[in-house]
C-alpha cells in the first residue's frame, strides 16, 4: 500500500510539474504578446501624434498661406467663397465627374465640411444657378424633408409640392425652388463649413 501511495504522489507531482511548466510557458507567451501589443500601441500613438501635427500644419497652411516669409490668414481656404460666417466650395465638375448625393457628401466630409444646409432666404438665393442643379444637404428621411443638421424643412414654398419620397434629395433650380430628384442621380454639389474667425 505504501509503495502505491508513493507512486501516486510521484504521478501527482509530475502532473503538477507539467501544469506548472504549461502555465509558465503560457505566461511567457502572454508577456511576449503584451510586449508586442504595447509596442504596436506606442507606434500608433506616435503615428496619431504625427498625424495631428500634420493636420494642424495643413490647417495653418490652408488658412494662413505663407507669402514672402509672412503669413496672412483668411477666413476661408483658397477655392472657397466667404459669405457671412460660412465658407462654400461649389463643385463645377464636368458631367463625367458628377456624383450621387451620398458620394458628394463624402467628398464634403473629406474637406471637413458637409453639403450646404440652407438657413435663410439669402443663403437660399446664393445656392441657385440658372442652368445647373447642385446637391445640397436636404433629403427625405422617414417621409419628411430633413436638413443634415436634423431640422425639418418647414417652408413648403421652398420645394415642389410633390409628396416626399424616401431616396429623394433636393437640388436648387432656376425658379428659386428646390426640386425633388433621386439621390442616385449624379449632380454637382456645394460644400459648406464655418469660417475661421481671425
Q: What is the pLDDT of residues 68-115, one digit of tens each?
A: 777 777 888 888 988 888 899 988 888 899 999 999 999 999 998 999
Between CA 149 and CA 138 the distance in angstroms is 9
Q: Which residues contact 41 (CB under 8 A, 6 or more apart)?
A: none
Q: What are the E-state strand segments in 58-167? A: 66-67, 70-71, 81-83, 86-91, 114-115, 134-135, 138-141, 144-147
- Name the CA radius of gyration of the chain, rounded: 31
- Output the pLDDT for position 51: 52
What is the DSSP code (8-state) at residue 76? Answer: S
What is the DSSP code (8-state) at residue 83? Answer: E
> What does the pLDDT look like over 107-136, one tens digit per residue?
999 998 999 998 877 777 777 654 478 999
Cα→Cα distances 143→136, 157, 171, Å: 18, 18, 17
- Output the pLDDT for position 24: 78
Please indicate, yes or no, whether the overall pTM of this predicted structure exceeds 0.85. Answer: no
Q: Where does the pLDDT of residue 53 fall: very low under 50, low under 70, confident under 90, or very high at 90 and above?
A: very low
- Output the pLDDT for position 49: 60
Q: Which three cell numbers stand for residue 45?
A: 500613438
How many Cβ atoms sit within 10 Å of the Cβ of residue 193? 18
> Length of the chain in residues, anyone?
198
What is the DSSP code (8-state) at residue 168? Answer: E
Q: Which CATH architecture has domain 81-194?
A: Roll (3.10)
Residue 179's H or E segment, with its range, is strand 177-182
Tell me if 79 sits within 8 A of 89, measured CB to CB: yes
Q: Where are the alpha helices (DSSP H) in the chain?
A: 2-63, 101-110, 121-126
Q: Which three cell numbers stand for residue 148?
A: 443634415
What is the DSSP code (8-state) at residue 148? Answer: T
Angle 170-175-179 from CA coordinates, rounded to 5°: 20
Amino acid at each position: 500500500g505504501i509503495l502505491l501511495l508513493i507512486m501516486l504522489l510521484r504521478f501527482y507531482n509530475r502532473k503538477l510539474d507539467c501544469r506548472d511548466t504549461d502555465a509558465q510557458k503560457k505566461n511567457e507567451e502572454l508577456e511576449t504578446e503584451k510586449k508586442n501589443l504595447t509596442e504596436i500601441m506606442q507606434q500608433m500613438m506616435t503615428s496619431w501624434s504625427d498625424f495631428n501635427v500634420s493636420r494642424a500644419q495643413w490647417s495653418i497652411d490652408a488658412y494662413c498661406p505663407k507669402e514672402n516669409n509672412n503669413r496672412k490668414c483668411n477666413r476661408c481656404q483658397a477655392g472657397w467663397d466667404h459669405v457671412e460666417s460660412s465658407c462654400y466650395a461649389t463643385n463645377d465638375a464636368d458631367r463625367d465627374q458628377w456624383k450621387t448625393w451620398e458620394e458628394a457628401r463624402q467628398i464634403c466630409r473629406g474637406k471637413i465640411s458637409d453639403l450646404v444646409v440652407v438657413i435663410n432666404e439669402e443663403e437660399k438665393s446664393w445656392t441657385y444657378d440658372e442652368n445647373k442643379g447642385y446637391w445640397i444637404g436636404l433629403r427625405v428621411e422617414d417621409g419628411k424633408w430633413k436638413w443634415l443638421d436634423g431640422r425639418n424643412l418647414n417652408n413648403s414654398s421652398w420645394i415642389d409640392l410633390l409628396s416626399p419620397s424616401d431616396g429623394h434629395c433636393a437640388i436648387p433650380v432656376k425658379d428659386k425652388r428646390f426640386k425633388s430628384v433621386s439621390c442616385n442621380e449624379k449632380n454637382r454639389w456645394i460644400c459648406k463649413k464655418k469660417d475661421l474667425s481671425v
